[in-house]
Amino acid sequence: MEYFTTIINLSLLASMVRLSTPLILAALGGMYSERGGIINIALEGIMLAGAFTAAAVTVFTANPWIGLIAAVAAGVLVSLIHAVASIEFKADQVVVGMAINILFIGVPALVSGALFESTGSTPPLPREQTLPDWNIPLIGSIPVLREILSGHKPIVYMALAMVPLSYYILFRTRFGLRLRAVGENPEAADTAGVSVRGMRYAGVLLSGALAGLGGAYLSIGQNSLFTRNMTAGRGFIALAALIFGKWHPVGAFLACLLFGVADAISIRMQGVVPVPVQVIQIIPYVLTLVVLAGFIGRATPPRAIGTPYVKEK
């Protein structure tokens, strides 16, 4: 029982928020892409690109905000490869995603080796050159919420703000309606005068921007350098959260919190509780399989996902 209070406490919730942040951004990103009909398993690679770019640019500019913007730009650029291959060349979206994941195992190491003479990591940044901790005025004065929600990196608040914003965009704007239409029934959307190509580009590039930002959080928020393969499967967990949350922004957000708290618990359990960390680590994946098998409701993907759109002549 003495384990219990060392593990389950307010700071656990704070670390849940921190650990969920990159997942939330990547999962919401994946949502824009997949709602538009482009399957995006490249989230992992895009996050790696964002994480590396953020760290490398910050090393040269000594300004994490420029690093952050560069990471978003890198995410957009990488997702542009995905978009062009999937939309223009009608390549298999899963294969393209896989190629991008492999590409960004290699590229950061290659560039890092050339720039910093170390393929393993970028040079560590001094603390003042990473993103600052933000104390939120109003929440900072409420006892319990202060512990959980205040004093995080700016990207945490961006991620939290993106959840209602994404809900609004997806379900309350014309853009969202069109994006969903293109993902469900591109023929009908096309007939109604919606540009299938344009909407799909928008979806994929948005996913790149958000996943890139999620990557930046890892290298210049949570840490102060980029290390090889530092995403460690987070892009895939985000994908799992997206499915677990049934492609809905609030659902995906809750799934990310769930996976984030599982991660936080597994970190705290190390060396404290005699339950192997591996058991906790596989929980998100097992849960996703259970959902996919239809035991907890049914996860139905957007109908036209994965299919290139060929205009009828």
Partner 1 sequence: MKGLIQQLIFPLIAVVAAFLVGGLIVWMVGDSPLLVYELFFTSAFGSVDGIGYTLFYATPLIFTGLAVAVGFKCGLLNIGAEGQLVMAAFACAWVGLVLPEWPSLLVVLLAMIAAVAAGGIWAAVPGVLKARFGAHEVITTIMMNFIAFGIVSYLTQYHYRKQGDPILETRPIAEIKDGVLTGPHIPRMHDLLAPFGIDFPAGVPLNLAFLFAIAACAVVYVFLWKTKWGFELRAVGISPSAAEYGGASISRNIILAMAISGMLAGMVGVNEVLGYRYRYYDGFSALYGFTGIAVALLGRNHPAGVLLAAILFGALTRSGLFIDIFTDRVSKDWVVVLQAIIILFVACGGAFRVGARRLKLMKSET
Shortest distance, position 48 Cβ to partner 1, whole Å: 12
Among 119, 129, 185, 223, binds partner 1 (CB under 8 A): 119
Task: Check if the beta carbon of residue 129 is closer than 8 Å to that of residue 63.
Answer: yes
Closer CB to partner 1, 172 or 298, in the complex: 298
Question: By CB under 8 A, is residue 272 in contact with partner 1?
Answer: no
Q: Which of 203, 163, 207 is nearest to 304 (CA)?
A: 203
Question: By CB under 8 A, is residue 185 in contact with partner 1?
Answer: no
Shortest distance, position 262 Cβ to partner 1, whole Å: 12
- Amino acid 119 reads T
Question: By CB under 8 A, is residue 85 in contact with partner 1?
Answer: yes
Closer CB to partner 1, 129 or 185, in the complex: 185
Question: By CB under 8 A, is residue 308 in contact with partner 1?
Answer: yes
Tell me which stretch binds partner 1 (CB under 8 A): 136-144, 154-162, 245-253, 303-311: 303-311
The answer for residues whose C-beta is within 8 angstroms of residue 230's C-beta and 6 or more apart is 48, 51, 218, 219, 223
Over the window 44 to 83, marking each residue x when it contacts partner 1 by CB under 8 A and - when it does not, the resulting string is -------------------------------------x--
- Amino acid 104 reads F
The number of angstroms, rounded, from the C-alpha of 235 to the middle of its chain's C-alpha atoms is 6
**What span, in angstroms and rounded, lies between the C-alpha atoms of 184 and 206?**
18
Task: Check if the beta carbon of residue 73 is closer than 8 Å to that of residue 131.
Answer: no
**What span, in angstroms and rounded, lies between the C-alpha atoms of 65 and 191?**
43
Question: By CB under 8 A, is residue 91 in contact with partner 1?
Answer: yes
CB burial class (10 A; 0-12, 13-18, 19+) of residue 131?
buried
Question: By CB under 8 A, is residue 94 in contact with partner 1?
Answer: yes
Question: By CB under 8 A, is residue 286 in contact with partner 1?
Answer: yes
Task: Check if the beta carbon of residue 136 is closer than 8 Å to that of residue 149.
Answer: yes
**What span, in angstroms and rounded, lies between the C-alpha atoms of 211 and 42?**
10
Tell me which stretch binds partner 1 (CB under 8 A): 56-64, 121-129, 133-141, 281-289: 281-289
Question: By CB under 8 A, is residue 105 in contact with partner 1?
Answer: yes
Size of interface with partner 1, in residues (CB under 8 A): 50
* DSSP structural state of residue 36: T
Task: Check if the beta carbon of residue 223 is closer than 8 Å to that of residue 52.
Answer: no
Task: Check if the beta carbon of residue 64 is closer than 8 Å to that of residue 226.
Answer: no
Question: By CB under 8 A, is residue 247 in contact with partner 1?
Answer: no
Q: Which of 35, 22, 1 is nearest to 178 (CA)?
A: 35
How many CB atoms neighbour CB 209 within 10 A?
21
**What span, in angstroms and rounded, lies between the C-alpha atoms of 110 and 127?**
26
Question: By CB under 8 A, is residue 214 in contact with partner 1?
Answer: no
Shortest distance, position 56 Cβ to partner 1, whole Å: 14
Question: By CB under 8 A, is residue 132 in contact with partner 1?
Answer: no
Among 17, 26, 41, 48, binds partner 1 (CB under 8 A): 41
Shortest distance, position 234 Cβ to partner 1, whole Å: 11
Among 11, 63, 191, 307, binds partner 1 (CB under 8 A): 307
List of residues contacting partner 1 (CB under 8 A): 39, 41, 81, 85, 89-96, 98-103, 105-107, 109-111, 113-114, 119, 233, 236, 239-240, 243, 276, 278-279, 281-282, 285-286, 288-289, 292-294, 298-299, 301, 306-308
